């Protein structure tokens, strides 16, 4: 739950920072005689909401490498590294994408992730724990899962969804804030009631937006499992997920890339709404039944 809280807090912090900047700009624009109608507020919300998401996407590879201290394999130094490069290269050709950078990060937790700004500029990384705990056919399936994420454009889509939701959070909080300031506080729409309402609504709506993003993240995990099964074999993909299920260590990916890992945390009730991955049992069952 601590990791989920940190993930949520990061998203809300970004929204609040963007909101504070907008709050500082609004009085100045009004003083200059610029009418902030709903169309103008929408443009501002779009610029701040989508702008932050796009910048995050462009920096995703660099931030992932820094967050995990992953080492990109430039020149294979042993048979395992050569096999990783050759396997990802073959899967990338079959998936119709550019060759991703391949990296290894030091962690006892069996995990892997994919990130990057496009299908031609991606990163696939595996942990040392994954290489130690899994058989080669299972690692191949995990690599196929991550390559499928790239081929499906999941990094771009997830970022755009977050950007759209950020836009509506910023927009709706301000429209509702204007209404409350006029109706309850009898102001002109930009009084203390407006700014207080905006801050509260950005937190509440930001939580709801995060739930929507996580729901999409869980759905795309099923798609990536299907893609991994196509690239490495259904039996191997099932075996890889079963191996992950047998490992009881908590996933330790940083929040910035946790949604793109092969394995997430288990939760129930309200926790499930903030899970980036569906339970492994559900993913295994979906593969066994042949459902996406």
Q: What is the 3-state secondary structure (H, E, C) of 190-258?
A: CCHHHHHHHHHHHHHHHHHHHHHHHHHHHHHHHHHHHHHHHHHCHHHHHHHHHHHHHCCCCCCCCHHHH
Which pLDDT belongs to residue 36? 61
Q: Name the residue among 243, 13, 262 with its Cα closest to residue 146.
A: 262
* Dist. CA 110–CA 243, nearest whole Å: 9
Which pLDDT belongs to residue 170? 85
CA atoms within 13 A on the CB side of 250: 9
Residue that has been written with the tokens 């005689």 in this structure: 33
Which pLDDT belongs to residue 93? 97
State CA 153 to chain mean position distance: 12
* Active-site entry in 146, 221, 255, 288: 146
Q: Which residues make Cβ contacts (< 8 Å) with residue 14, sequence separation at least 6?
A: 52, 166
The structure tokens listed for 19 are 């909101």
Mean per-residue pLDDT pooled into runs of 10, the chain (292 residues):
41 63 66 64 79 78 87 95 97 96 93 89 94 95 96 87 86 85 74 83 86 88 95 96 78 51 56 81 92 58
The structure tokens listed for 240 are 């890889």
Which pLDDT belongs to residue 4? 37
Helices (H), the chain: 2-31, 38-58, 60-68, 79-95, 128-133, 136-151, 154-183, 192-232, 234-246, 255-258, 270-273, 280-289
Exposure pattern of 206-240 as b/e (b: 16+ CB <10 Å)?
beebbeebbebbbebbbbbbbbbbbbbebebbbbb
Q: For residues 267 and 78, is the Cβ–Cβ distance under 8 A? A: no
Q: Is the dihedral of CA 249, 252, 255, 256 positive or negative?
A: negative
pTM assigned to the model: 0.79
Q: Answer yes or no: 146 catalytic.
A: yes
State CA 155 to chain mean position distance: 7
The structure tokens listed for 75 are 């020149």
Which pLDDT belongs to residue 2? 34
């Amino acid at each position: 739950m601590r990791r989920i809280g940190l993930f949520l807090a990061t998203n809300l912090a970004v929204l609040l920072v963007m909101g504070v900047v907008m709050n500082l700009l609004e009085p100045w624009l009004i003083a200059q005689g610029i009418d902030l109608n709903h169309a103008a507020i929408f443009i501002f919300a779009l610029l701040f909401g989508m702008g932050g998401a796009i910048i995050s996407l462009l920096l995703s590879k660099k931030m992932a490498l820094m967050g995990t201290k992953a080492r990109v394999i430039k020149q294979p130094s042993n048979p395992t590294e050569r096999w990783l490069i050759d396997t990802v290269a073959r899967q990338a050709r079959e998936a119709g994408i550019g060759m991703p950078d391949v990296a290894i990060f030091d962690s006892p937790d069996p995990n892997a992730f994919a990130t990057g700004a496009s299908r031609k500029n991606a990163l696939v990384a595996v942990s040392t724990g994954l290489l130690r705990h899994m058989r080669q056919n299972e690692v191949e399936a995990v690599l196929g899962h991550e390559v499928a994420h790239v081929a499906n454009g999941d990094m771009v889509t997830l970022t755009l969804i977050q950007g759209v939701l950020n836009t509506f959070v910023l927009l709706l909080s301000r429209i509702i804030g204007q209404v409350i300031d006029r109706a309850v506080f009898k102001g002109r729409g930009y009084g203390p009631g407006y700014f207080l309402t905006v801050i509260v609504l950005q937190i509440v709506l930001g939580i709801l937006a995060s739930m929507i993003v996580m729901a999409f993240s869980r759905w795309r995990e099923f798609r990536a499992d299907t893609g991994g099964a196509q690239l490495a074999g259904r039996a191997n993909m099932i075996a890889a997920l079963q191996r992950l299920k047998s490992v009881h260590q908590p996933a330790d990916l940083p929040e910035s890339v946790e949604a793109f890992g092969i394995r997430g945390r288990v939760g129930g009730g309200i926790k499930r709404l903030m899970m980036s991955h569906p339970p492994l049992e559900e993913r295994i069952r979906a593969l066994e039944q042949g459902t996406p």
